[in-house]
Amino acid sequence: MTDFTYAVDADGVATITWDLPGKSMNVLSLEGLRELNDHIDTALADDAVKGVIITSGKKDFAGGMDLNVIAKMKEAAGDNPAKGLFEGVMQMHAVLRKIERAGMDPKTLKGGKPVAAALPGTALGIGLEIPLACHRIFAADNPKAKIGLPEIMVGIFPGAGGTTRLARKLGAMAAAPLLLEGKQNDPKKAKAAGVINEVVPADELLAAAKAWVLSATDADLVKPWDAKGYKMPGGAPYTPQGFMTFLGASAMVHGKTMGVYPAAKALLSAVYEGALVPFDTALRVEARWFTHVLMNPSSGAMIRSLFINKEALEKGANRPEAPDQTVKKVGVIGAGMMGAGIAYVSANAGIEVVLIDATHEAADRGKAHSEGILDKGMKRGRVTAEKKAEVLGRITATTDYAALAGCDLIVEAVFEDPKVKAEVTAKVEAAVGPDCIFATNTSTLPISDLAKASTRPDQFIGIHFFSPVDKMLLVEIIKGRETGDRAVAKALDYVRQIRKTPIVVNDARFFYANRCIIPYINEGMRLVGEGTNPVLVENAARLVGMPLGPLQLVDETSLDLGAKIAKATKAAMGDAYPDGAVDDIVFWMVDQGRLGRKAKAGFYAYDEAGKRTGIWPGLADRFPRAEDQPELTEVQHRLLFVQVLEAVRALEAGVLTDIREGDVGAILGWGFAPWSGGPFSWLDIIGAARAVEICDRLAAAHGERFAAPALLREMAAKGDSFYGRFGPEAKAA
């Protein structure tokens, strides 16, 4: 395989072109790194070569590192994976440092060969770390290109010098959003941020880079940190200004991550410690922290769920065989909160939308929701007036079902009432062609029951969005008993069009996401009912990586919705209903008018502007705090185990058929502790045996809801892991 090609032109400029055969995007493998190294050696050794351009033969420069590299490095040193990683990372540093020094005399800093990076499009991760080692970075004026270091989003950090170079180039403060939040910019913004040097028209990219290479002087090649008297912009840690930055950054990182993301802390340590030592030592420091992060099981689990598995699901890992089902015209019935959002994301993806409600006013209000989102985008400079007109032009707001003619997909989002839904189903089926797929956005009603109102239940399916629709990335697709393959393929193709991540589950009470999240909320309220300090409950959740504590979450989703769901569940389950203790609290709160954030009164107190001001003091009058408060870990175990045990039960019952969907769905659907990689990844990290031990203890102390499912017990006995037993490799074997 040849990942990089090498050519020297008549003017003595060598061009190293990255172009992975048979792939649409370049990623760096160990073989690729060796090739790049060899080409650099050739260029530096050849007296006829005056300078080098590193570019790409594709429309983008590179998407990042081939993720197998990490596994290969770990294996390289046999039973000492940390050594293999550290040495592998140091090899990358050596290649990039060679580019940066480019043969110059280390004392006089003279005699090096200029190396320019020419980026035709997106340059992410190692795809930016290589350019950062070059002497000048040119990018084509391509507004679609993304330039950045997104590693932190999958639980690692830029470990090929990107951290050290960017912090030294921009200063810790300016580099923080790029490193700690993985912020990606288009070329113009990347230039404004000081990440790259030049933005030029695409057809002048190579010429501009070449002109610079041929005119560069010795001084142009010396990085600030290699020059005498280098001072870190914004101040190194031991200057008064730098001291404030690092102190603030440390508190900010801890505040944002609650200390559960090892990568953010390690990144900050690498920058801080690196800033105290010379550049080459700083690279070693970065490599040590990078190794430390890669050895933490959280990073592997995050990469697997948030990168590999998420992408596999988006590419249709569980799509049944069926011809292309790209949606051309979608009918959205019900223009309320959900329908309006569904209309927007569909129209924004280029799909024609008919948005129907019972009255013209309601339909128009639904369409106005799109206008509101687009206006906000315009204010931020992300949406043009043409784009706004185009998207709004795709939405027809009406009460007339005849407008649905020609729709190939319907998404129903009317009131959560089986009678209303049945009426709507019949009306829709009378108006659309025989091939149209009908999807319901119900959050609680069984799909198989709703499908009874349909004359073609094989074309009836659940497409469950999360609120707010334009922000939430997950869509849960639910198969009813009779749902056919084409309906599933349609739903998956639609979710791909609107650029969200799908999971496909079987029909059961609350499907998957709500099935796990409701017990979490209930456990939080149960703890309060038992006299646990609500502040302890909320902080325990946040400190284990949940984005919202259970009480805040119920305030957001509203107590009256909770009461409604509780009543319906009780009616359906009869004596088996397990949550009587929780209902005491929910119904009492509703009686007090404390419906949550929308009422500016819930478990939290709110000010006039709707901002939380702390736990509502009246709560303690009705549910006095017990003298003995539980241990933090005990509360955390209760809050996590009610969720993960429900996920295991969903797998056991065949609601989930793929643990990848269970993990990705949990993180994207309800924010389940992303550092863990999801419920199944977390159970694999602690091990089934330890999980069962905790379950036994919790069940004895707090009840049967913590009883270990038979599957988990069996796995503990056999020493199985979820990914070992149910992962894609195991399935393929």
Q: What is the DSSP letter of 136?
A: E
| CB of residue 399 to ligand NAD, shortest distance in Å | 8
3-state secondary structure of 516: helix
Report how far residue 102's alpha carbon sits from residue 96's, in angstroms, rounded to the nearest whole number: 10
**Cβ of residue 351: shortest distance to ligand NAD, in angstroms?**
19
| Nearest residue to ligand NAD on Cβ basis | 336
For ligand NAD, give the closer residue by CB, 365 or 542.
365
Cα distance between residue 131 and residue 96, in whole Å:
9
Q: Which is nearer to ligand NAD, 110 or 567 (CB)?
A: 567
CB of 571 to ligand NAD, least distance (A): 17
Task: Report the C-alpha gap between 431 and 309 in whole angstroms.
Answer: 39
Instruction: Tell me how far apart the alpha carbons of residues 567 and 94 are, in angstroms, rounded to a whole number.
Output: 65
| Beta carbon of residue 264, minimum distance to ligand NAD (angstroms, whole number) | 30
Among the listed residues 246, 270, 411, the one whose alpha carbon sits nearest the alpha carbon of residue 335? 411
Contact 270, 163 (CB under 8 A): yes
Length of the chain: 733
What distance lies between CA 216 and its chain's CA centroid? 41
Instruction: Report the residue number, 477 or 648, with the smaller CB distance to ligand NAD.
Output: 477
Taking the complex as a whole, how short is the minimal distance between the CB of residue 415 and ligand NAD, in angstroms? 5
3-state SS, residue 435 = coil
Which CB atom, from 443 or from 721, has the smaller least distance to ligand NAD? 443
Tell me which H or E stretch contains 478: strand 474-479
**Cα–Cα distance between 145 and 128 in angstroms, integer?**
12
Amino acid making up residue 320: P
Q: Which is nearer to ligand NAD, 296 or 443 (CB)?
A: 443
State the amino acid at position 206 in one-letter form. L
Residue 335 or 554: the one with the smaller Cβ distance to ligand NAD is 335
Q: How far is the CB of 400 from ligand NAD (least distance, A)?
A: 11
CA atoms within 13 A on the CB side of 237: 16
How far does the chain reach from its first CA to its final CA, in angstroms?
28
The least CB distance from residue 561 to ligand NAD, in Å, is 8
Question: What minimum distance in Å lies between the beta carbon of 321 and ligand NAD?
Answer: 29
Q: From the candidates 39, 292, 369, 464, which is the catalytic residue?
A: 464
Residue placing its CB nearer to ligand NAD in the complex, 357 or 684: 357
Give the separation between CA 364 and CA 123, rounded to whole angstroms: 42
Q: How far is the CB of 163 from ligand NAD (least distance, A)?
A: 39
3-state secondary structure of 114: coil
d(C-alpha 692, C-alpha 200), whole Å:
60
Which residue ranges make up the site for ligand NAD (CB under 6 A)? 333-339, 356-358, 362, 413-416, 420, 423-424, 441-443, 464-465, 467
- Assess contact for 706 and 645: CB atoms under 8 A: yes
Q: Which residues of 2-41 are buried (b: 16+ CB within 10 A; e: fewer)?
A: ebbebebeeebbbbbbbebeeeebbbbbbebbebbbebbe
360 part of the active site: no
CB 689 within 8 A of CB 708: no
Q: CB of residue 483 vs ligand NAD: minimum separation in angstroms?
A: 18
Mapped onto helix, strand or coil, the DSSP state of residue 222 is coil
CA distance 284 to 539: 36
Compare residues 358 and 473 and give the one whose CB is closer to ligand NAD: 358
Query: Is the distance from CB of 62 to CB of 148 less than 8 angstroms?
Result: no
Structure tokens at 479: 């198969």
- The answer to whether the beta carbons of residues 200 and 208 sit under 8 Å apart is yes
SS3 53: strand
CA dihedral in degrees (451, 457, 458, 460; nearest 10)? Answer: -40
Instruction: Give CA–CA dist 684/553, Å, rounded.
Output: 27
Closest approach, Cβ 253 to ligand NAD, in A, equals 32
Show which residues are catalytic.
Answer: 464
